[in-house]
Amino acid sequence: MQVGDRVKLHARGVSVFLIVAIDEGQASVLSERKVPGAYEFHTPMDGLVLADEADCSD
């Protein structure tokens, strides 16, 4: 995965996030939904799933 990819936090996730930075196995992500109070946060890379892959899994 790389900066600019759309991801979900896990395979059954509903929300989609945009990777805005990567540092030492951590991704900084930002919600794709335009809502008040949206903010960037850090999450481990190993749990992320590309949004298109997550949408196809079940």
State how far the Cα of 41 lies from the Cα of 53, in Å rounded to an integer. Answer: 22
The pLDDT of residue 54 is 44
- Mean pLDDT (the chain) is 85
DSSP β-bridge partners for residue 19? 29
State pLDDT tens for residues 24-39: 999 999 988 777 777 8
Query: What is the reported pTM?
Result: 0.80
Q: What percent of the chain has pLDDT over 70?
A: 90
